[in-house]
Structure 1
Amino acid sequence: MSTTSALEFSNLPTDIIGKIIEKCDLKEQLTLRKVSKDLRSLVDEQKSAYKSIEIDLTDSHIFCVYNDKNVKYDGDKLDKYNMPIETSIICNDDYVKIALNDLSIALKNPKLRLDDLYLTVDHSPDMMNRFRLLLNSLNPQIHVKTFILRAGSSEYLLSILPYLKPKVLVNIDIDGLYYRDDWALEKVRQVASLEQWKQAEQLTTRHCFDYFPSEFLIHFKRFVILEWDATEQFLMNLTDLFSTSTNFESCTVEALGLEDCSDYLESFCEKVDTGDEIDYNEGVLIIKKR
């Protein structure tokens, strides 16, 4: 009677192991990396399945979303009922090191191709400094199309953009910048000198559009601008910007007060009728290049 030995995982062909690894989520891949040097190399060489990574840095915890997989890293035991559905919770006194190590593995993958990278920094300069050290270890630059920053400081924008791949980065989305002194303006100037900024095609701003001098915006093709309210002076500034730009294609403004500017908007439509098309209703203004 013949006997056959069970086929072990380590004896599978390399390409089969690679396909299995591609189907694993981050937690499973991290576990495989600890098995052996060969598996660690195979995991690191596989094409990343991540299209979106969200990072929320605070002084008390780190929250990450890998595609639709939520992971919270914390030093205290948490009540999972207060977490989003299907959130993995990692409680450890050294949770920051664990979180940054997991992020490092994901971001260092040379085959990573992200659509979106979100970063929120909640008044946590120390945590941001540690994250900056992680970015400094990356090679090559992160391949991402849209970068969304919610941090409140132009310094953080300056800290992150150099690690994103120019030309691949199409949309820069900035949610709030709160410091407007000379020091902050100098940081904005430094941001505007980066290739990542110069080669991006779309700028999305949330309550901070007037933070950027017009000379730093002239190269963008598309704008999405969210403001608390819109004045005639604000719209006139947009007119000046778009009329002098050779790259301008479209702009969407969402703000309160647009319905109160109907007379101005009508004259504005007539003024640019030969070059632009404008539609507006309550709360939304859309300007498109013909």
Structure 2
Amino acid sequence: MDFQPPDIPDVIRDYILHENAFFVLSIKTAICRRFRDVIDSNYTPFTDIHVAIGHDYVYVKFNDMRSLYSHKEVREYKYGHKYHDENKTFIEGEGYLTKAFDAVAVALRNQQNILRTFRLSWHPRAKQTNREQTAENVEFFYERVRLLLVNQPFQFAVRDFSIQDTNLPRVLAILQHLSPETIRKFEISDVNYGSWRLGVIGDAEQIMEQMVETPQWTSLSYIQIIHTPINIPLHNFVYCIEFEIAVESVTIEEIVRLKNTLLERPRFRRCKVMTRTEFNFDEIIPFRNMGALLNGYRHPADNCPYTYRCTIPYTIFQLAVTLRDVSFEINRVQRRQQNKLSNMTDNSVKSFSDMPTDVIEVIVEHSELKEQLILRKVSRSLRDLIDTQKLDYKQIIVDARPDHIFVQFNEHFVAYLDHQKLDIDISQMSSIYKYTTIIRMPPGGDWIQTAFADLELALKNPKNRFQMIRIHSFDDDAGKTVYKKLENILKPFGDRKIHVTRFCARVVEGPQLLSILPHLQPGFLKSIEIEHNVDLAENIDFLIDSQQWKKAQDVEMYAIETPIPIECLVHLRRFDVWIESIEVQDLLKLRDNLIISPIFESCSIRSYSGSAFDIVEVQKILGLKQPSSEKPQSMLLYSIPNSDAILEIYVDNHYVYIEKA
């Protein structure tokens, strides 16, 4: 039967539980079992535990009390004068290691303990001749700690955990048994004694992949991995407030991507990344182009000639990116911090917003779209100024899917996703999406609304001029949503039209096309492309009577069976259409109109009903000639009167192609 300790008077219990950690550890081994059980189950005085292991001793610090465990008298000076008050415990043989571990285990076994710091390290005074013995002692002690934590039914609570160990599987096992609700700081380091290093034990890449997936890792605010370079992508650290790491190598492109990500992390303060290989600054010729890569400006700094600053949108802070030969740092600094090295009368750091308005306008005018949108986020005043300028929009392509939307702004692709959608496997898609930026909405966020808010920003500026706007969707419901949202954006514009040269639309219903087309500027709109198997019969009169159609030069209607009159096509430069039927007399009328058109170049017409063409009849009625031997026999020619030009006419069943040559 399990031992049940009798009741202990409250006065004795309170006396024990309010004493310091060192006193409790002392009486725990001297009093009866019932007192030990009370201490193990109730006493929680531990806030800090530091363990340093040497070749013949273990040094343990509980809060402010120091203890030395060894198998022999250790000379006082070995630890320095500040440790003269330490408690010394001498155990014959190897028992001092077990004794030291048992003392630490008292704190680790108590579920009520919440440590501020828990540190495991090699003692820095170990001599070169004793390193092997020190390594054996460390292996013994660390393994006991790992087994204790792994076999406990709870996760131990500690805020700051530091371990001097390169056995990554063991480090991972210990980390996984620390409470993710409390841990905020995590440090890993190699033994740093001159040129002596342990080196990584275990498959570093595989272990680190497992480590970054743990809930403990994602809860961290501070991470330090030093003395041992480990290959781990930098994006695994961007959620931290601070991090300091050593990696095998890093590229300028990785620094730029890291900076862009950290701009969106309001809690970030600083990071330092050390590498074994020097940066290849020769890749950036001249070096001042680094400012363009970072979207920042050169800033003189103490003892460092390569510092660039990038403004954090909507804040008074900037990211200061400092490059050195084998490391770089990114720090969050105040925007108007004094520049000590400047010889100017005004020593405050000037931001972009401080420039004269006319200078900003010139810079915006000569910037690319991505740079203009970045500048727009610098400050409210700069945003108001940029919104009145003509921005460098060239094309907008909307590709709607059932659970996400792709939008292409010039050459920049953005994917808007719901927070529950899995990541898009862009590698399996078209190569144009290789460099897509993914915007995932938080719970409760509207990814559709966010996408169309960015579209509205582009469309509402009356000075913007677009080469192409394309609306595309293979999903009917998603397509309907897109056209409805676009109509809601365009309606408030009133009589103001969108200036776009080429409009492409994949429609499900005729009204979808007609909800957008009237909002496009006639005359400026040169090309109309419509695709999808949709019946436009009820809307064809509205379409061909619109000013957009009458002033267009190019029309393409793919897989759309439309009863469109021939005379509504002859004003075009190029057209490719499907019509209900076409007879030889229609071809004659078409020929007579095309030969007097000053802009006609080519056309193709497909009919989806009626009889096939009789080539002999077509040749006779249209007055066509057979071509020379080097041209296809199905190609017929018509010489335009009073001109050197000819019409090349290709006829095949229900298809006619005409080109002016």
Q: TM-score range by the shorter chain?
A: 0.7 to 0.9
Give the alignment partner of residue 559 of structure 2, picking from 189, 199, 207: 207
Give the alignment partner of residue 435 of structure 2, picking from 86, 98, 105: 86
C-alpha spacing 1:89/1:60, structure 2 compared with 1 (3 Å): same
Please tell me the residue identity of whatever aligns with 2:657. Answer: L
The residue number in structure 2 matching 1:131 is 486
Matches within 5 A, 1:42-57: 42-57=385-400
Deviates more, 1:48-57 or 1:241-250: 241-250
The residue number in structure 1 matching 2:403 is 60
CA contact 1:52–1:114 (8 Å) conserved in 2: yes
Give the alignment partner of residue 178 of structure 1, picking from 525, 534, 549: 534
Please tell me the residue identity of whatever aligns with 2:575. Answer: V
* Superposed displacement of residue 34, structure 1: 4.8
Answer yes or no: is 1:12 the counterpart of 2:355.
Answer: yes
The residue number in structure 2 matching 1:95 is 447
Answer yes or no: is 1:189 the counterpart of 2:541.
Answer: yes
CA contact 2:353–2:379 (8 Å) conserved in 1: no
CA contact 1:113–1:143 (8 Å) conserved in 2: yes
CA contact 2:531–2:560 (8 Å) conserved in 1: yes
Please tell me the residue identity of whatever aligns with 2:354. Answer: N
Please tell me the residue identity of whatever aligns with 1:89. Answer: I
C-alpha spacing 1:6/1:278, structure 2 compared with 1 (3 Å): same
Please tell me the residue identity of whatever aligns with 2:398. Answer: I
The residue number in structure 1 matching 2:572 is 221
Report the Cα distance in structure 1 between the residues aligned to 2:601 and 2:372, rounded to whole angstroms: 42
Report the Cα distance in structure 1 between the residues aligned to 2:559 and 2:354, rounded to whole angstroms: 57
The residue number in structure 2 matching 1:169 is 525
Report the Cα distance in structure 2 between the residues aligned to 1:284 and 1:88, rounded to whole angstroms: 44
Identity of aligned residues (%): 29
* Superposed displacement of residue 37, structure 1: 3.2
Report the Cα distance in structure 1 between the residues aligned to 2:484 and 2:548, rounded to whole angstroms: 21
C-alpha spacing 1:224/1:244, structure 2 compared with 1 (3 Å): closer
C-alpha spacing 1:272/1:107, structure 2 compared with 1 (3 Å): same
Give the alignment partner of residue 507 of structure 2, picking from 137, 141, 151: 151
CA contact 2:537–2:562 (8 Å) conserved in 1: no
Any idea what SS the aligned residue of 1:168 has? Answer: coil
Deviates more, 1:14-23 or 1:191-200: 14-23
Answer yes or no: is 1:278 the counterpart of 2:648.
Answer: yes
The residue number in structure 2 matching 1:287 is 659
Please tell me the residue identity of whatever aligns with 1:91. Answer: R
* Superposed displacement of residue 172, structure 1: 1.1
CA contact 1:154–1:177 (8 Å) conserved in 2: no
Q: Which structure's relative contact order is higher, taking Cα pairs within 8 Å and 6+ residues apart?
A: 1
* Superposed displacement of residue 250, structure 1: 2.9
The residue number in structure 2 matching 1:107 is 459
Report the Cα distance in structure 1 between the residues aligned to 2:651 and 2:589, rounded to whole angstroms: 22
Please tell me the residue identity of whatever aligns with 1:197. Answer: W
Aligned residue pair count? 278
Larger Rg: 2
Whose helix fraction is larger, Structure 1's or Structure 2's?
A: 1
C-alpha spacing 1:151/1:73, structure 2 compared with 1 (3 Å): same
Deviates more, 1:29-38 or 1:161-170: 29-38
Please tell me the residue identity of whatever aligns with 2:434. Answer: I
C-alpha spacing 1:48/1:29, structure 2 compared with 1 (3 Å): closer
The residue number in structure 2 matching 1:250 is 601
| TM, length-normalised to structure 2 | 0.38
* Superposed displacement of residue 46, structure 1: 2.1
Please tell me the residue identity of whatever aligns with 1:141. Answer: K
CA contact 1:50–1:114 (8 Å) conserved in 2: yes
Listed one character per residue, the Cα deviations across residues 197-250 of structure 1 (whole Å, up to 9, x for unaligned) are 1221222222336442335434x32233266xx9x9567644433434664723
Deviates more, 1:1-10 or 1:232-241: 232-241
Report the Cα distance in structure 2 between the residues aligned to 1:71 and 1:58, rounded to whole angstroms: 13
CA contact 2:372–2:391 (8 Å) conserved in 1: no
Listed one character per residue, the Cα deviations across residues 158-194 of structure 1 (whole Å, up to 9, x for unaligned) are 1111110011111111223422xxxx42212112222
CA contact 2:416–2:447 (8 Å) conserved in 1: yes
C-alpha spacing 1:138/1:64, structure 2 compared with 1 (3 Å): farther
Listed one character per residue, the Cα deviations across residues 257-288 of structure 1 (whole Å, up to 9, x for unaligned) are xxx97656655534843455115599993422
The residue number in structure 2 matching 1:41 is 384
Report the Cα distance in structure 2 between the residues aligned to 1:162 and 1:39, rounded to whole angstroms: 33
Any idea what SS the aligned residue of 1:45 has? Answer: coil
* Superposed displacement of residue 54, structure 1: 1.1
CA contact 1:153–1:177 (8 Å) conserved in 2: no
The Cα RMSD (Å) is 3.5
Report the Cα distance in structure 2 between the residues aligned to 1:47 and 1:126, rounded to whole angstroms: 29
Deviates more, 1:205-214 or 1:275-284: 275-284
C-alpha spacing 1:242/1:42, structure 2 compared with 1 (3 Å): farther
C-alpha spacing 1:185/1:284, structure 2 compared with 1 (3 Å): closer
